[in-house]
Amino acid sequence: MSEQDGAASKVDVVIVGAGFSGLYLLHRLRGLGFSTRVFERGGDVGGTWYWNRYPGARCDVESMQYSYSFDEDLQQEWHWPEKFSAQPDILAYANHVADRFDLRGGIDFDTEVSAAHFNESTGRWLVETNKDERVSARFFIMATGCISTAQVPDIEGLSDYRGNTYHTGNWPHEKVDFGGQRIAVIGTGSSGIQAIPVLAEEAAHVTVFQRTPNYSLPSQNVPMTSEYEESWKNDYQVRRDEMRYTAHGSIKELNDEPAMAVNEDRRQQVYQERWDIGGAGYLGSFNNLLTDADANETAAEFVREQIRGIVKKPEVAELLAAKTYPIGTKRICIDCGYFETYNRDNIDLVDISGGPIERMTPTGLVANGKEYEFDSIVFATGFDAMTGTLFNVDIRGRGDQALKEKWYAGPRTYLGLMSEAFPNMFMITGPGSPSVKSNMLTSIEQHVVFVTDSIVHMREQGFASMEPSREAEDDWVEHVQDTANRTLFPRANSWYMGANIPGKPRLFMPYIGGVGRYRKICEEIVAEDYKGFNFDADKARTPVAAE
Ligand code: N01
C-alpha cells in the first residue's frame, strides 16, 4: 500500500477507537487545533462498555473514580446511581460525554481500520478502512483498549452446534430471553462470575464449565448516597490528584505493614474488615500480599474459608476454592452473590480442569466423557488481551516491518506508548504501561495528555517525527519484566501473561511498578527533553502543523 494508491483525505491525526481513550483524544486534539478522523468498529461510542452488555456486567472500580477528571463541570454535574456502576450507566455516561463535547459527528462508526502503513518518503501514515477509504495522517493512534478482541475457543465441532451461542464480550444489543432454557456457561473469569448469578435467576438450568476456579470478592455494592457523592464532589481536585500518584490509579487504603508482622487474630480481623467493605481493597490488607508467597497464602485461605462458609455442598465449595495460584495474580474478580448462586437448585458446576471440552455436538457438548444438551451456550472465555487488537490491524512501520513480526516474542514498547521503527504511532494504555493493572480512566487520561502534549511539542519545535530509541525501548522492556519478576504475578497462567491464548508468548504484559511511579518516570522523561525519544528534525519534510 503506498500513498500513490489514492489516499483521499489528509488529516493530522487518525484515531482508532471511540471508547474512553478515543473520545478524550478527539476532544483534546480538536481543542488544540489538529484535524482528526476517528474510526470505530462499533455502531456507537463506549468501547468496552458498548460491547460487553452481558447480564450482570458492571465495573469493579468505584464510579466516583472510574470517570473523567478533565472537566470540572462534567464531574460535578454527572450523577452515578450506584457505588459500582452497571454497564448501562457507564455506557450512558460515555454517550453523555460524546454529546456534551459534540464528539459524535467526528467519528466514523461501523468502520474498521484494516491497515496502517508508514511511508518513509513522506513521513506519513496511510490508513485503510474496511470501507475502502484511505486516509493519510501525520500521526496514527491506536486507542483500541486492552481487552477488546473476544476469544471463542477452538473446540472441535463448534459449527455443528445448532443452539444459540453468545460471547460476553460481544453481546447482542437486544435483550436475550433465557427464560425456560437450559444454558451452559463456559469460563469463570470476571465476566462469567458476574453473569452467572443473573443468568441463574432467569434460566431454567445453568451448567457452569470451570477450567480454573477464581478468587472472587464481594462488591458489597450499594446505591449512591448523597453524603458519599458530596464527599467526593466537594474534594474532587484534591482526590483526583491523589489518585494519579497511587499504585493503581484509585484511592484504596493500603495497610502498610507486612502480613506476618501481626498475629493470626489480627490478620483475620483485617481480612474480615476488608471483605465486609467489599471490592478489590482486600488485596491492600497488607503490603506484601503480591510479593510474599506465605503472606499471600493467608489472604487466599481466608477467601477459601468464606467460600466454604457460603456454599452448602462441601464438594462444590472445594471445586470453587482456588488453590493452584496466589490470590491476585489472575485478575481478582468482584461479584454480586456469585458463590451463593451455587446453593440454588438450578445450577451445576462441572470441573474441566482435567481435560478440555472434548467436542461440541448439534445439541450440546461432551466433557469428561459425558454428553450435555443445551438450548444456549454462553462463552465467557475472555480475550486476546493487550496485543490481539493491535495485531488485527496490519500495522507496518519503517522498512515495511509489521508490528506483529517485531513483537513475535512479546510486545516491545517504550513506556507502553510507542515502539521503535513505528514513528508517530502512539498506543493509549499499550503493553508495558500500567493499563489493566490500574483504574483505566486514570491511565487513559495520563496517556492522552502525554500523547497530545508530545504532538504539540513537535509542532512548537518544528519536528517531523518522534520515535523511541532502540536502547530506551530495550531498557524499558527489561524493566517491565524485572518489575513483574519481583512479584508473584508470573506464577499464574493469566491473560496478563498471555497464557490464555494457545501459542502466545508467555510474559507479563502490563507494567506493575505502579501508576504513581510510572507517572513520575514519564514526567522525568519529559523534563529531560523527552529522554529516550528521538525527534526527526528534517525540515525537508513537512513539520507538524494543523492541516
Ligand atoms: O475473561 P478471563 P473475562 N475451555 O480471561 C476460561 C475485565 N473485566 O472476560 O482461567 C474452558 O478472565 C478461563 O479459564 P482459565 C477484567 O480485567 C472487568 O472473564 O484460563 N474454559 C477463564 O475462566 C477481566 O480480567 C470487569 O483456565 C476456558 C475464562 O474462560 C478481563 O476483562 C468485568 C477456555 C476467561 O476468563 C477478562 O475477563 C468483566 C476453554 N477453552 C471483565 N478458554 C469488571 O470491571 C478460556 N476459558 C468487573
Claim to verify: residue 411 and residue 350 sit in the same structural domain: no
Domain assignment present for residue 542? The answer is no
Cell of 408: 513475535
Domain assignment present for residue 415? The answer is yes
Nearest CA to ligand 1 atom 12: 189
Helical H segments across 338-383, by residue range: 338-341
Q: Which of 135, 132, 137 is nearest to 29 (CA)?
A: 137
Domain assignment present for residue 393? The answer is yes
Claim to verify: residue 93 and residue 119 sit in the same structural domain: yes
Rounded to a whole number of angstroms, the distance between the first and last alpha carbons of the chain is 23
> Given this model, what pLDDT does residue 6 score?
62
Taking the C-alpha atoms of residue 427 and residue 418, their distance in angstroms, rounded to an integer, is 6
Percent of the chain with pLDDT over 90: 95
CB of 190 sitting under 6 A from ligand 1: yes
Claim to verify: residue 291 and residue 439 sit in the same structural domain: no
Q: What is the pLDDT of residues 22-60, one digit of tens each?
A: 999 999 999 999 999 999 999 999 999 999 999 999 998
Taking the C-alpha atoms of residue 38 and residue 110, their distance in angstroms, rounded to an integer, is 11
Looking at 320, 345, 379, which one is the last position of a domain? 379
Claim to verify: residue 365 and residue 398 sit in the same structural domain: no
Domain assignment present for residue 244? The answer is yes
Torsion of CA 59, 63, 65, 66, to 10 degrees: 40
Residue 376 alpha carbon to ligand 1 centre in Å: 19
Say yes or no to pLDDT of 252 above 90.
no
Claim to verify: residue 25 and residue 130 sit in the same structural domain: yes
Lowest mean pLDDT among 85-99, 353-367, 533-547: 533-547
Q: Which atom of ligand 1 is the closest one to the Cα of 153?
A: 41
CB of 192 sitting under 6 A from ligand 1: yes
Mean pLDDT, residues 101-111: 98
CB of 189 sitting under 6 A from ligand 1: yes
Claim to verify: residue 365 and residue 436 sit in the same structural domain: no
Say yes or no to pLDDT of 289 above 70.
yes
Task: State which H helix or E strand residue 425 sits in.
Answer: strand 425-427
Residue 223 alpha carbon to ligand 1 centre in Å: 27
Percent of the chain with pLDDT over 70: 97
Say yes or no to pLDDT of 205 above 90.
yes
Taking the C-alpha atoms of residue 54 and residue 172, their distance in angstroms, rounded to an integer, is 8
CB of 187 sitting under 6 A from ligand 1: yes
Distances (CA, A) of 487 to 87, 288, 378, 408, 494: 32, 9, 34, 25, 14
CB of 357 sitting under 6 A from ligand 1: yes
Residue 494 alpha carbon to ligand 1 centre in Å: 9
Taking the C-alpha atoms of residue 293 and residue 260, their distance in angstroms, rounded to an integer, is 11
CATH number at residue 469: 3.50.50.60
Helical H segments across 1-42, by residue range: 20-31
Claim to verify: residue 325 and residue 286 sit in the same structural domain: yes
Claim to verify: residue 279 and residue 399 sit in the same structural domain: no
Q: Which atom of ligand 1 is the closest one to the Cα of 58?
A: 48
Residue 453 alpha carbon to ligand 1 centre in Å: 35
Residue 248 alpha carbon to ligand 1 centre in Å: 21
Q: Which of 30, 101, 9 is nearest to 452 (CA)?
A: 30
Claim to verify: residue 311 and residue 166 sit in the same structural domain: yes
Claim to verify: residue 509 and residue 391 sit in the same structural domain: yes
Kindly provide the b/e burial profile for residues 123-148, where b requires at least 16 CB atoms within 10 angstroms of the residue's own CB.
Answer: bbbbbbbeeebbbbbbbbbbbbbbbb
Q: Which atom of ligand 1 is the closest one to the Cα of 331?
A: 25
Torsion of CA 290, 292, 293, 294, to 10 degrees: -120
Q: Which of 261, 335, 260 is nearest to 303 (CA)?
A: 335
To test ligand 1's pocket by mutation, which of 211, 325, 360 has the most ligand atoms within 8 angstroms of CB? 211
CB of 438 sitting under 6 A from ligand 1: no
For the entire predicted model, the pTM comes to 0.96
Residue 153 alpha carbon to ligand 1 centre in Å: 12
pLDDT tier at 540 (50, 70, 90 boundaries)?
Answer: very low
Q: What is the pLDDT of residues 131-165, one digit of tens each?
A: 999 999 999 999 999 999 999 999 999 999 999 99
Mean pLDDT, residues 436-440: 97
Strand ranges in 316-412 using DSSP code E only, listed in sequence order: 333-335, 347-351, 359-360, 364-367, 370-373, 376-379, 394-396
Q: Identify the bridge partners of residue 140 per DSSP, sorted by sequence position.
A: 14, 425
Q: Which atom of ligand 1 is the closest one to the Cα of 169?
A: 9
CB of 388 sitting under 6 A from ligand 1: no
Pairing of strands 394-396, 113-119: parallel
Residue 379 alpha carbon to ligand 1 centre in Å: 10
Looking at 319, 347, 379, which one is the last position of a domain? 379
Residue 374 alpha carbon to ligand 1 centre in Å: 21
Q: Determine the distance from the C-alpha atom of residue 480 to the mean position of all C-alpha atoms in its chain, rounded to a whole number.
A: 18
Q: Which atom of ligand 1 is the closest one to the Cα of 211?
A: 27
Q: What is the pLDDT of residues 413-435, one digit of tens each?
A: 999 999 999 999 999 999 999 99
Count CB neighbours of 291 within 10 A. Answer: 14
Residue 431 burial by Cβ neighbours in a 10 Å radius (0-12, 13-18, 19+): buried
Nearest CA to ligand 1 atom 20: 500
Claim to verify: residue 211 and residue 354 sit in the same structural domain: yes
Residue 164 alpha carbon to ligand 1 centre in Å: 20
Mean pLDDT, residues 174-200: 98
Say yes or no to pLDDT of 545 above 80.
no
Nearest CA to ligand 1 atom 36: 189
Looking at 345, 379, 413, which one is the last position of a domain? 379
Domain assignment present for residue 529? The answer is yes
Mean pLDDT, residues 471-487: 98
CB of 211 sitting under 6 A from ligand 1: yes
Q: Identify the bridge partners of residue 208 per DSSP, sorted by sequence position.
A: 185, 349
Taking the C-alpha atoms of residue 127 and residue 14, their distance in angstroms, rounded to an integer, is 8
CB of 436 sitting under 6 A from ligand 1: yes
Say how many domains are in the chain: 2
Domain of 252, in residue numbers: 158-225+233-379
Say yes or no to pLDDT of 98 above 90.
yes
CB of 319 sitting under 6 A from ligand 1: no
Claim to verify: residue 350 and residue 495 sit in the same structural domain: no
* Helix (H), strand (E), coil (C) string for 35-97: CEEEECCCCCCCCHHHHCCCCCCECCCCCCCCCCCCCHHHHHHCCCCECCCEHHHHHHHHHHH
CB of 146 sitting under 6 A from ligand 1: no
Domain assignment present for residue 546? The answer is no
CB of 129 sitting under 6 A from ligand 1: no
Domain assignment present for residue 544? The answer is no
CB of 48 sitting under 6 A from ligand 1: no
Domain assignment present for residue 545? The answer is no
Residue 179 burial by Cβ neighbours in a 10 Å radius (0-12, 13-18, 19+): exposed
Interacting residues of 453 by C-beta distance below 8 A, sequence separation 6+: 526
CB of 55 sitting under 6 A from ligand 1: no
Say yes or no to pLDDT of 353 above 70.
yes
